[in-house]
Amino acid sequence: MSDLHQLLKLYEGRPAAVAGRGPDPVNRPMIRHWCEALGDTGPAYRGADAVAPATMLQVWTMPGLGGPAARSVALAEVFALLDGAGFTAVVATDCEQEYLRPLRPGDEITFDSVIESVSPRKTTRLGSGHFLTRRTEIRANGELAGIQRFRILKYAPAPPASRPAERPQPVVNRDNAGFWEGVAAHRLLIQQCDDCAERRFPWLPGCGACGSPRWTAVDASGAGTVHAYVVVHHPPAPGFDAPYAVVLVELAEGVRMISNLTGVGPGAVRIGMPVELEFQRVGEGRELPVFRPRGADA
């Protein structure tokens, strides 16, 4: 065990946030915005007896832009130790949540957090560093409502590669092999349930609406609009030149697909932009479905 890791281990179990308080009670407007952004029309999230989607658990603890961070002295010291050792970059890696009771409009949110673990030094494609996990207990009106483990990597960025890195290859398995066979033939295939006619993407073994395992692959036109987007500046990713836009496209068939947008700078992307499909070669013998602006935006 390195001297730094021995020192970091001393902070395990110490508070990361004490007596934190959500800036707003659970409320219907935020629930509505969340559901609209995700396209979730579940009836449980509407009406007088509405509950918040369980996955909003962390949302109610966030201070907002420029708000005070509920960070303890111990957590600040851990970050200072890592920064001082050269691990100056940070990326969130995963989040685990446990739901103990529904959150309802009007619930007042409080929370406490501890530094649960700090890993030994690990080597990743981003660079070497330490994984830090915080365990947070979230309460509604004083009653434990959920537990969250949020893990980040504090790392020293790896030096630039001496030659251009190749874009990662898609993972092809038995559930999505038909989709990639369609891409190879310059077809964009989505699934349609044989029992309820619900269309879905990405490919799944069963229908999320009725549970039927029976489905047919149908061609999508490739026309759509930008439903949401993010412009990526950091961290660097193999095969991508930052900044670049990642878009969530709503296809004319009613399903949504994450892809890249070509033919326009990331600063020109906008919600509602009409787009159309094209196939982009990204390596020897490999193509990906991407989108480009159409109409007046082309």
Percent of the chain beyond pLDDT 90?
A: 74
136 and 236, same structural domain?
no
Contacts of 167 (CB under 8 A, 6+ apart): 238, 239, 240, 282, 283
Q: Are 185 and 155 in contact (CB under 8 A)?
A: no
Contacts of 104 (CB under 8 A, 6+ apart): 26, 50, 51, 52, 140
182 and 139, same structural domain?
no
23 and 110, same structural domain?
yes
For residue 164, what pLDDT is reported? 60
For residue 273, what pLDDT is reported? 96
Is 172 inside any structural domain?
Answer: no
Q: Are 261 and 290 in contact (CB under 8 A)?
A: yes
The answer on pLDDT for 68 being more than 60 is no
Q: Buried b vs exposed e over 193-222: b needs ≥16 C-beta within 10 Å?
A: beeeebbbbebeeebeeeeeeebeeeebeb
Which residue is listed with tokens 């110490």? 14
Give the model confidence (pLDDT) of 30-50 as tens digits.
999 999 988 888 899 998 899
Where residue 208 falls among pLDDT bands split at 50, 70, 90? Answer: confident
153 and 34, same structural domain?
yes
240 and 126, same structural domain?
no
72 and 32, same structural domain?
yes
Alpha carbon distances (Å) from 13 to 96, 267, 281, 284: 18, 44, 50, 50
Is 163 inside any structural domain?
Answer: no
142 and 33, same structural domain?
yes
Domain range holding 278? 177-297
Is 167 inside any structural domain?
Answer: no
Is 168 inside any structural domain?
Answer: no
Q: Are 110 and 145 in contact (CB under 8 A)?
A: no
For residue 298, what pLDDT is reported? 61
219 and 120, same structural domain?
no
Where residue 59 falls among pLDDT bands split at 50, 70, 90? Answer: very high
Give the model confidence (pLDDT) of 125-134 as tens digits.
888 999 999 9
- Cα torsion for 37, 41, 46, 52, to the nearest 10°? -60
Helices (H), the chain: 3-9, 28-38, 73-84, 177-184
Q: Are 3 and 108 in contact (CB under 8 A)?
A: no
Domain count, the chain: 2
Is 153 inside any structural domain?
Answer: yes
255 and 184, same structural domain?
yes
What is 105-133 written as a DSSP string?
TTPPEEEEEEEEEEPPPEE-SSEEEEEEE
Q: Are 26 and 106 in contact (CB under 8 A)?
A: yes
Q: How much is the pTM?
A: 0.60
146 and 7, same structural domain?
yes
Q: Of the given ranges (101-110, 165-174, 250-259, 267-276), which has the lowest mean pLDDT?
A: 165-174
Backbone angles phi, psi at 274, to 5 degrees: -70, 135
54 and 188, same structural domain?
no
For residue 170, what pLDDT is reported? 84
Alpha carbon distances (Å) from 187 to 40, 217, 222, 226: 28, 11, 9, 20
Determine if residue 33 is left, alpha or beta; phi over 0 gives left, psi from -120 to 50 gives alpha, anything else beta.
alpha
The answer on pLDDT for 163 being more than 60 is no
